[in-house]
Structure 1
Amino acid sequence: MSETRVFLLPDLGEGLTEAELVSWHVAVGDSIEVDQPIAEVETAKSAVEVPSPYAGIVAELHGKPGETLDVGKPLISVTPVSSGAGVATDDAAPAEPAQPAVVPAETELAEPKPANAEAEAYREEEKAGSGNVLIGYGTPGGHAAAKRTRLPKASVSVLEPAETQPADKAADDLTLLRTRVPGKLGAVISPLVRRMAREHGVDLGVLHGSGESGLIMRRDVEKAISAPVAEPAETKPAPVVEPAETKETQGRDARTGLAISSRTPVRGVRKAVAATMSRSRSEIPEATVWVDVDATGLMELRESMKAGGAAVPGLLAFIARFVTAGLKKYPELNTRIESAEDGSQEIVGFDGVNLGIAAQTDRGLVVPSVRSAEKLSARELDAEIRRLTDVAREGKATPTELGSGTFTLNNYGVFGVDGSAAIINHPEVAILGVGRIIDKPWVVNGELAVRKVTELTLTFDHRVCDGGTAAGFLRFVADAIENPTTLLADI
């Protein structure tokens, strides 16, 4: 029987460094095949099933459901068996990959020379998989090769401190071999950059990436390392003497004196949402404008369409259609601010609208986006919004679907509220909220009437525009809701 092989938890997309183990699909002693799902894990992006790159007998499961596992740490041990035992061998010809993973510049080392026999063994093991892709990660193998950018030796040597031991370096190189970072969304970082930051004590959570879409590059970490550190005036703070009764003991909170009923770790999607919202509040000087809107005309239009027997898009799809038209007239709200290394800033505009739709899920708030939404009719928008909402709630939305928006539409009216000063979805510059539609007294042609009224709330980044632009966009959408036929010739 062959030597047991250990499969390390791979990077499941966008440079995430950890994942929570939700459940195992196999048990010790089970026979498994290449690409068979072995576990479900939840990352800050979504829940995914992890396939095995090996065939054989499960020898050990490294973790229990509910545990948080680090990328590059052991996930499962598999003992290959001979072909006569009825299980596919590791020497079987690899299948063609579904698609090669595309690796951006500065996110991965070129195929390095193995530092020791273990790395060489991994190189051979890597050829045994099928190459099937799963959210940027696939079991390696097949004949197609991903494009890689080779880094010069000088650029790599800066990551190796003189005091690093050969054995430590070999283990680190092997971990890097098994980690893949396929995308550039948000603050994505390569294994090299993560290791460099870890060795120099740099907190990546507070860095502003200078690369495309906020990508944290090696130069960003080097700049943080070279930045002067302010020394506190008092190197030895006076000791704080606390009475014994203020300490937290036996599950009682020291500040309130109340018994602690629960502790919930902040991780997964909730951790990602917290980081994004905190960054938005700290970086964006936001302002909010709002207006009450008579939606009676839109409601009557939908009722007339239903009477005709036609399939009728949802209200959110109609509003999404008005939003994309409004962003064409007021493109300042469909931008992003980028900062250069010298401290200068640019407002980056886009030829198109990727419309984010805020969706509440069991795992937290996520924002999948309708790509090129300005090209879609109300019916097409309705179909795509429903599809994205479904995959988001199932935890199956891809990193691209979750991280490529340029403007967000948030329908919090489904929760029975009228308005909210929403937090902008960083790095976007604006978010439009829609409240519930309810009967209200309204003046029509000088007469008091009962109308269907909703509240629109626009929160915007004051760096990209002033109140006049924001108010103009908001009024445009409001007028379209009140007189919908003017913009819905392409329903």
Structure 2
Amino acid sequence: MMTHDFILPDLGEGLTEAEIVSWLVKVGDTITIDQPVVEVESAKSVVELPSPFGGVVQSLFGEAGQVIHAGQVLLSVADAAHSALEPTAEDEVAVPARSETPTEPAAPDAPPTAPSGASGAVLVGYGTSENTRPLRRPSTARFGARDASPEVSVPPPAPEPAAVQPAAVAPSVLLDRPSPVVSPIVRMLARENGFDASALRGSGPNDLVLRRDVEARIRANVTAATTATPAPAASAPATAPTAVPATATATATATAAATAAAAAASAPPPSDTRIPITGPRKVVAERLAQSRREIPEATIWLDVDATELFIARDRLLEATGERFSVTALIARFVVAGLRRYPLLNASVDTASQEILVRGEINLGIAAQTPRGLMVPVVHGAHALTTRQLRDSIAGLVSQAGDGAFSPGALSGGTFTLNNFGSLGVDGSAAIINHPEAAILGIGRMIERPWVVEHELAVRTVVELSMVFDHRVCDGDTAAGFLTYVARCIESPVALLADL
């Protein structure tokens, strides 16, 4: 029988490992070439890997949540033609534990058994037992009589055990497939509380299991346990009211307080929680740490009157019938500013001790996702119109809902724009996204008192904060860029001079 091993390929960009999120096939399935067979999570994204071979799945190597490395075998596939003629060793020796006539198929009304794979995983919704075994027909029943002296002797059937009732499973977990679980933290939180997150019905897109789903299940389990605990028997009522002296009442109160204090002192302290640094969080941590080690950064900031920016946005809506976000408009100003100050669209090559000024402007947009902080990139932003730039940013924002970015969307950035005002803060001394040379932060936009033509007025004000690599440029370059963007925000028509 010809068997092929599907090996985890090189994931590119220095990535050498991935975590299995879920299997899309099981042992015994017939697959075709380029059919997705497994969903894995690398440090950059969650992807489905297609099989380079077609045939019958013989073995799966690894379980959901297990980390695998490039070069490791994921699954083995046998040619369909050979598999139909050659029974496997498992077919030769598998004997139904509950049937005295193994050559007969299971009755139509027999309860389903749990399919088993190489990982031993059991489909949710089926009862499990040590006595439950996969029902297989011996090869002699399927392919005709064989040699009278088989290679493996079949032991006599064991006495039929008592019927095993399917385990009671909550309706919310009776799924036809495991739910997708992207976040390692969500999977760990579920495991620590004694259940599998993929058994839940997720509330995210395409049934994606989010942290709130796991927390809801934990609360439900606690409530169920509390309800199942019998209440202490009520003491018999007193036959007649008895007066209690004040000294006795005080003594009882003091005793109760001392008992409560002793119970609190004897209670175990809250346990520590360890959260593994994996996936995107690991990449972000390494990149930020490297940025702090290598880049001598400096920070400047500026308060800007953004009232005219909102007026310009409303006029664009009236003129075109299309909505333009404030972030998209500021991104347009940033691209124009980088054209004027190209040193900020650069990186430092430490090996050659050179400043590499990038020809293209690939604008990164910092985004908070369920998988943590990620920076998807608008490639070729310098060649886009304002409308195209708006649509590209909107597409990245929509993908941030589940963090399912392709690896290419998270690489190649030359400058980062961070709108932390959406988090409700005014400013931040951000960390540069290594190996870039600068990052621009946008704070929240709120109404503040402002002096306009020597008079006090209420204006919409935003704080811009600029962090730059002092190896690449000095303060005059960074200040020139920041004040240029500020002028465009205060008077968007000023950008017309550079178009």
Instruction: Classify the TM-score, shorter chain.
Output: 0.5 to 0.7
Tell me, yes or no, if the aligned pair for 1:32 and 1:58 is still in contact at 8 Å: yes
Whether 1:360 aligns to 2:359 is no
Structure 2 CA distance for partners of 1:82 and 1:488, relative to 1, 3 Å: farther
**Offset of 1:60 from its aligned partner?**
1.7
1:446 pairs with 2:457: no
User: Given the alignment of the two structures, is residue 19 of structure 1 paired with residue 18 of structure 2, yes or no?
Assistant: yes
1:464 aligns with 2:472: yes
Question: Match of 1:477, as an amino acid?
Answer: V
Deviations 1:187-217 (A, max 9, x none): xxxxxxxxxxxxxxxxxxxxxxxxxxxxxxx
Counterpart CA distance in 1 for 2:276 and 2:426 is: 31
* Change beyond 3 A, Cα 1:78–1:374: same
Output aligned runs, 1:185-200, within 5 Å: none
Shift in Å, 1:382: 0.4
Which of residues 358, 373, 396 in structure 2 aligns to 1:388?
Answer: 396
SS state at 2:5 partner = strand
1:393-438 CA distance string (max 9 Å, x none): 5444333332111111111111111111110000001000001111
Verify the 8 A CA contact 2:371 2:402 in the aligned structure 1.
no
State the AA in 1 paired with 2:321: A
Amino acid at match of 1:314: S
Please state how far the C-alpha of 1:332 moved relative to its aligned partner: 1.4
Alignment partners' CA distance in 2, 1:392 and 1:7: 31
The residue aligned with 1:265 is 276
CA distance in 2, matches of 1:59, 1:83: 12
Q: 1: CA distance between counterparts of 2:386 and 2:445?
A: 19
Letter in 2 for 1:472: G
The residue type equivalent to 2:388 in the other structure is: E
Deviations 1:351-391 (A, max 9, x none): 23111111221112221222221222221110111223334
TM-score normalised by L of structure 2: 0.60
- The equivalent of 2:264 in structure 1 is none
Q: 1:448: how far off?
A: 1.1
Contact map agreement 2:32 2:55 (CA 8 A) in 1: yes
Q: Contact conserved, 1:312 with 1:379, CA < 8 A, in 2?
A: no
- Where does residue 69 of structure 2 map in the other structure? 70
Q: What CA deviation, in whole Å up to 9, does each residue of 1:270-310 have, x standing for no partner?
A: 11111100100000000100011110000011122223452
Deviation at 1:258, TM superposition (A): 5.2
Give aligned pairs, total: 317
SS of residue in 2 equivalent to 1:12: coil
Q: Which amino acid in 2 is paired with 1:79?
A: A
2:480, 2:83 → 1: CA distance? 73
One of 306, 314, 331 as aligned partner of 2:325: 314
- Pairs within 5 Å for 1:72-221: 72-82=71-81
Deviates more, 1:304-313 or 1:291-300: 304-313
- Partner Cα distance (1:288, 1:489) in 2: 28
**CA–CA separation in structure 2 for the residues paired with 1:278 and 1:54:** 41
Distance 1:258 1:469 in 2: 54
Distance in 1 of aligned mates of 2:385 and 2:56:
52
- Which residues of structure 1 form unaligned runs of 5+? 87-256
Cα separation, 2, equivalents of 1:339 and 1:262: 39
- Return the alpha-carbon distance in structure 1 between the equivalents of residues 9 and 296 of structure 2: 38
TM-score by length of 1: 0.61
- Aligned pair partner of 1:338 in 331, 344, 349: 349
1:82 aligned counterpart, secondary structure: helix
Determine the structure 1 residue equivalent to 2:304. Answer: 293
1:10 maps onto 2:9 in alignment: yes
Structure 1 contact 377–490 (Cα < 8 Å) conserved: no
Separation of aligned partners in 2, 1:422 and 1:384:
24
Q: Once superposed, what is the RMSD of the aligned Cα atoms?
A: 2.2
Measured against aligned partners, the alpha-carbon deviations of 1:198-252 in whole angstroms (never above 9, x if no partner) come to xxxxxxxxxxxxxxxxxxxxxxxxxxxxxxxxxxxxxxxxxxxxxxxxxxxxxxx
User: After superposition, where does 1:404-415 map in structure 2 within 5 Å?
Assistant: 404-415=412-423
Using a 3 Å threshold, how does the CA distance of structure 1 residues 3 and 354 change in structure 2: closer, same or farther? same
Look up the match of 1:61. Answer: 60
Q: Is the 8 A contact 1:335 1:349 kept in 2?
A: yes
The 2-side partners of 1:438 and 1:39 are apart by 47
Alpha-carbon shift at residue 468 of structure 1 (Å): 1.5
- 2:81 corresponds to which letter in structure 1? S
Quick check: 1:378–1:490 contact (8 Å CA) kept in 2? no
Query: Paired residue for 2:128?
Result: none
**Contact 2:316 2:324 (8 Å CA) reproduced:** no
Label 1:395 to 1:55 Cα distance change in 2 as closer, same or farther (>3 A): farther
Q: Which residue of 2 aligns with 1:327?
A: 338
Contact 1:413–1:437 at 8 Å: present in 2 too?
yes
* Identical-residue share of aligned pairs (%): 55
User: Aligned pair in 2 of structure 1 residues 424, 258: CA closer, same or farther (>3 Å)?
Assistant: farther
The residue number in structure 2 matching 1:43 is: 42
Contact persistence 2:59–2:76 (CA under 8 A): yes
Aligned partners of 2:26 and 2:309: how far apart in 1?
56
Q: Any conservation in 1 of the 2:18–2:67 contact (CA below 8 Å)?
A: yes
Match of 1:279 in 2: 290
- Which digits, 9 at most, give the CA deviation of each residue in 1:50-69, with x for residues without a partner? 11112122222111111111
Q: Name 2:204's counterpart in structure 1.
A: none
The whole-number CA distance in structure 1 between the counterparts of 2:68 and 2:269 is: 33
Given that 2:27 and 2:57 are in contact with CA atoms closer than 8 Å, whether structure 1 keeps it comes out as: yes
Contact 1:354-1:405 at 8 Å conserved across structures: yes
Partner of 1:481: 489
Larger radius of gyration: 2
- Measure the CA separation in 2 of the matches of 1:285 and 1:405: 20
Aligned partner of 2:284: which letter? V
Structure 2: runs of 5+ lacking an equivalent: 86-267
Q: Give the letter aligned to residue 6 of structure 2.
A: F
- Conserved in 2, the CA contact under 8 Å of 1:292 and 1:456? yes
Cα distance in structure 1, aligned partners of 2:421 and 2:349: 33
SS at match of 2:288: helix
Partner amino acid for 1:410? Answer: N
C-alpha distance in structure 2 between counterparts of 1:32 and 1:366, whole Å: 34
